[in-house]
Amino acid sequence: MVLTIPNVRVVAYSEYQFFLHDKIKELHDAGMGYRRIAHWLRERGYKTPRGKRFFANHVFSILKRKRERDANKSRAVKTEYRNFYLEFIERKLINSE
């Protein structure tokens, strides 16, 4: 018997995280650097997803993590378990009303 499990590790992003990534990507593609993007976001009152002030490392990290997430999501991974024993135990309540 072979049990095959697909890659199901999915980290949920909030709408705000998607918005931040899209805005940062747009500004970066337009030629802005990480520090300048962070300054732009701070001027407009945006905070990191954890409520902190934006700095260049946050901007870089948001772009990097989204790129890694997309790469991992598209990679097909299968895990197979062979020669295992599976036992189902029926549990009954005794003396229940």
pLDDT of residue 97: 59
Task: Report the pLDDT averaged over residues 61-86.
Answer: 80
| 38-57 per-residue burial string, b: 16 or more CB within 10 A, e: under 16 | bbbbeeeebebeeeeebbee
| Residue-by-residue DSSP string for 41-82 | HHHTT---TTSPPP-HHHHHHHHHHHHHHHHHHHS--EEEEE
pLDDT of residue 1: 54
Q: What is the pLDDT of residues 34-69, one digit of tens each?
A: 999 999 999 999 999 999 999 999 999 999 999 988
* Residue ranges covered by each domain of the chain: 14-75
pLDDT of residue 77: 65
Task: Report the pLDDT averaged over residues 8-25.
Answer: 85
Q: Dihedral angle at the C-alpha atoms of 24, 27, 71, 14, nearest 10 degrees?
A: 30
